[in-house]
Structure 1
Amino acid sequence: MIFNYPNGKKYIANANTDQVNKVKKNKNAAYSNRGMTLEEDLNVTNSFYLDRGVAVIHKKPTPVQIVNVDYPRRSAAVIKEAYFKQASTTDYNGIYKGKYIDFEAKETKFTTSFPLKNFHEHQIAHMKAVLNQEGICFVILRFSTEEEVYLLEAAHLLTFWERMETGGRKSITKEEIMEYGHRIPLGLHPRIDYIKVIDYLYKLS
């Protein structure tokens, strides 16, 4: 089966096994000193919240558009070709203590700033819509080199985005993130306890 990314490049599911194993080995080596990726850490964290009845937060599935289906038998269908569609909103959403939660998660290898190009206009528009409905919206940013994670409220992100659109810098400085954001210490259970920050910001504890 062949998947096509939005840029037209093909992803072949049955790629050479040795090559896949080599990629996995290199990836594992790259992350061996820093733990899991941000997405993996958040998925584990959300499972922790769900199992203990703290919150119901899930990662939104990536939309896939199927363009070629083979029917070898009347009772079976085989997808031959599909496209990964670009996500239209943010990565995660759910509910916590009766409040709608919506956030995006991004990480960078830069150490002094966070590039705004990591976000897309449709995501910014979505965050604005969530805030207009009085939902809790934010981004979780990870500086992967230093293993530092911050929660930055969407309202602040929108301010930095507007600054860029009016000719300002195209990134958020580390100092700005430290000033306006909230650092989340990495733990074990849960790994990234962002609910504590939400409790503090919105007086939900």
Structure 2
Amino acid sequence: MNIKYPDGSSYDNEQNSLNYSSNSKRQKTIFGDRGMTLEEELNRSNEYYRAHEIAVIYKKPVPLQIVKVDYPKRSKAVVKEAYFRQPSTTDYNGIYQGKYIDFEAKETKNKTAFPLKNFHSHQIEHLRSCLKQGGICFVIMRFSTLNEYYILPASILIKYWDLQKQDGKKSIEYNIIVKNSVSIEPGYNPVLPYLEACDKMIDKLKGTKNGRRKNDP
């Protein structure tokens, strides 16, 4: 299906970690032995958080303007072309411990860096605006080949996004992500306990602001 942004630019499914092609081999990514996609893991984790009154976080719906529909059968309709009614922002948002939380989820097969082309400028500006209002903002990154998850503060993503405009690199190196992120270890309930990593990320940011380093006493 051909989906486009309001400005007419095409939406690239290859760059969006939470949208997979119709090829069944790509629809299922193995996480441990669960066989769930990243989106499924996050959605199930959010269900757990809501059920246990830990947080209220949902995946944002994507409003589409349908342009072209084919009817191969009377009982079926196939959308062939559609537009986003407005630029998409980030994947998830909600409330956690009295704070607004907003984040994007992406993955890459690259082992040494995370390409910045996976993000769009309107997503970066959305995160920038949320941070200015005191929101908790981050990116959940998955290195699919390494099967590693990281929660990276939005401020770090924005920093390297801005640097690329000044002839900086078009990606964030793996070692920089590891240094500035908190790893997420898959579990059972929730299947992806990212809020535990979020708490550690917040503590890490507070320590940096107070002049402490991670390994300082």
Compute the TM-score of the two structures, normalised by the length of structure 2: 0.74
- Cα distance in 2 for partners of 1:84, 1:148 equals 33
Deviation at 1:67, TM superposition (A): 4.1
Write out per-residue CA displacement over residues 9-63 of structure 1, whole angstroms, 9 at most, x where no aligned residue: 9xxxxxxxxxx6xx32x336x6347532211111111111111111000000112
Q: Which consecutive unaligned segments of at least 5 residues does structure 1 have?
A: 10-19, 70-77
| 1:27 paired to 2:26 | yes
- Cα distance in 2 for partners of 1:105, 1:37 equals 12
SS at match of 1:128: helix
Alignment partner, residue 14 of structure 1: none
Compute the TM-score of the two structures, normalised by the length of structure 1: 0.78
- Cα distance in 1 for partners of 2:159, 2:10 equals 33
Alignment partner, residue 160 of structure 1: 160
SS at match of 1:179: helix
Question: Which amino acid in the other structure matches residue 41 of structure 1?
Answer: E
Deviation at 1:195, TM superposition (A): 0.9
Determine if contact 1:131/1:137 at 8 Å carries over to the other structure: yes
- Cα distance in 2 for partners of 1:27, 1:117 equals 20
Question: Which amino acid in the other structure matches residue 83 of structure 1?
Answer: A
Alignment partner, residue 215 of structure 2: none
Alignment partner, residue 130 of structure 2: 130
Determine if contact 2:100/2:135 at 8 Å carries over to the other structure: yes
Deviation at 1:80, TM superposition (A): 7.0
Indicate how the Cα distance of structure 1 residues 46 and 125 shifts in structure 2: closer, same or farther if over 3 A, else same.
Answer: same
Alignment partner, residue 116 of structure 1: 116
Indicate how the Cα distance of structure 1 residues 8 and 167 shifts in structure 2: closer, same or farther if over 3 A, else same.
Answer: closer
Q: How does 1:87-98 map to 2 (within 5 A)?
A: 87-98=87-98
- Cα distance in 2 for partners of 1:93, 1:127 equals 11
Q: Which consecutive unaligned segments of at least 5 residues does structure 2 have?
A: 12-21, 70-76, 204-217
SS at match of 1:131: helix
Percent identity, please.
47
Indicate how the Cα distance of structure 1 residues 47 and 133 shifts in structure 2: closer, same or farther if over 3 A, else same.
Answer: same
Q: How does 1:16-165 map to 2 (within 5 A)?
A: 23-24=23-24, 26-27=25-26, 31-32=29-30, 35-67=35-67, 83-85=82-84, 87-165=87-165
Determine if contact 2:153/2:201 at 8 Å carries over to the other structure: no
